């Protein structure tokens, strides 16, 4: 029989699928709404993780880029999401990207740092994305993992050819394309993104934001 175009799932993929199912079933419960406002919430979830890394004293720069294909990338020069293996054998990066953080912002977490909760929200963005890729720069290496609707395509690996333009020895690059079946629109509004970036930038001295819109080749 010909290989179908549908994904083949092994036991661990099915676990991830089941774990993220509540997000895809009731996206509004996690991001407020599935309209353009909810859509933009995806970007703020990812930016807020980088901001937490800035508040922890590490990230100094955050780059946000709206890409031509409708994907968005957020890059920071913080320490990089940890990639070490949990006792289960799964990378901390994979756990961050695939496990719902129960109770979210109000629960205790091993990743809690000075008022921020590292990584919370990333799995929600991942679950609501058609695809996502995360690259982590640390130990002189670039680790990466790719996901399809939240499910890892393979284990965390290293690559000699990073996609991110990060030119710092450490940092995190996340790029995702929202799943059009989860939102009433997947069109980013430059002004909305700009306002949200500006409002955050005002609050944090010494943190520099860069926003680029490759759809129009404008950057600010």
Footprint of ligand 0RA (CB under 6 A): 49-50, 53, 76, 78-82, 111, 118-119, 172
Closer to ligand 0RA at the Cβ: 39 or 117? Answer: 117
Closer to ligand 0RA at the Cβ: 1 or 140? Answer: 140
Please report the DSSP string for 45-56 in residue order.
HHHHHHHHHHHT
Name the residue with tokens 């913080």: 78
Phi (first) and psi of residue 127, to 5 degrees? -65, -30
Cα angle: 95, vertex 98, 100; to 5 degrees: 95
Least distance (Å) from ligand 0RA to the CB of residue 140? 14
Structural contact between residues 201 and 169, judged by C-beta atoms closer than 8 angstroms:
no
Least distance (Å) from ligand 0RA to the CB of residue 111? 5
Closer to ligand 0RA at the Cβ: 38 or 119? Answer: 119
What tokens appear for 139 in the block? 């130990």
Closer to ligand 0RA at the Cβ: 11 or 209? Answer: 209
Within 10 A of 90 (CB to CB), how many other CB atoms are there?
A: 17
Structural contact between residues 205 and 51, judged by C-beta atoms closer than 8 angstroms:
no
**What span, in angstroms and rounded, lies between the C-alpha atoms of 220 and 210?**
6
For residue 174, the surrounding DSSP H or E stretch is strand 171-178
Least distance (Å) from ligand 0RA to the CB of residue 59? 7
Closer to ligand 0RA at the Cβ: 79 or 101? Answer: 79
Least distance (Å) from ligand 0RA to the CB of residue 78? 4
Closer to ligand 0RA at the Cβ: 53 or 213? Answer: 53
Least distance (Å) from ligand 0RA to the CB of residue 141? 14
**What span, in angstroms and rounded, lies between the C-alpha atoms of 80 and 176?**
17
Of 84, 46, 56, 19, the C-alpha closest to 207 is: 56
Closer to ligand 0RA at the Cβ: 58 or 131? Answer: 58
State the burial class of residue 62 (Cβ atoms within 10 Å of its Cβ: 0-12, 13-18, 19+).
Answer: buried
Least distance (Å) from ligand 0RA to the CB of residue 189? 24
């Amino acid at each position: 029989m010909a290989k179908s175009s549908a994904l083949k799932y092994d036991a661990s993929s099915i676990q991830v699928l089941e774990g993220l199912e509540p997000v895809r079933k009731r996206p509004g419960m996690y991001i407020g709404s599935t309209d353009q406002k909810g859509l933009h919430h995806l970007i703020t979830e990812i930016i807020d993780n980088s901001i937490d890394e800035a508040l922890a004293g590490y990230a100094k720069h955050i780059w946000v880029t709206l890409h031509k294909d409708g994907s968005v990338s957020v890059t920071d020069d913080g320490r990089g999401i940890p990639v070490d293996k949990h006792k289960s054998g799964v990378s901390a990066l994979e756990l961050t990207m695939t496990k719902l953080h129960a109770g979210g912002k109000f629960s205790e977490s091993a990743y809690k740092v000075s008022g921020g909760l590292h990584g919370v929200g990333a799995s929600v963005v991942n679950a609501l994305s058609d695809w996502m890729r995360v690259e982590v720069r640390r130990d002189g290496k670039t680790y990466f993992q790719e996901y399809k609707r939240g499910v890892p395509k393979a284990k965390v690996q290293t690559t000699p050819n990073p996609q991110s333009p990060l030119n710092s020895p450490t940092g995190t690059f996340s790029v995702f394309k929202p799943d059009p079946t989860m939102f009433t629109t997947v069109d980013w509004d430059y002004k909305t993104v700009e306002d949200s970036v500006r409002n955050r930038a005002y609050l944090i001295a010494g943190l520099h934001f860069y926003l680029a819109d490759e759809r129009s080749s404008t950057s600010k």
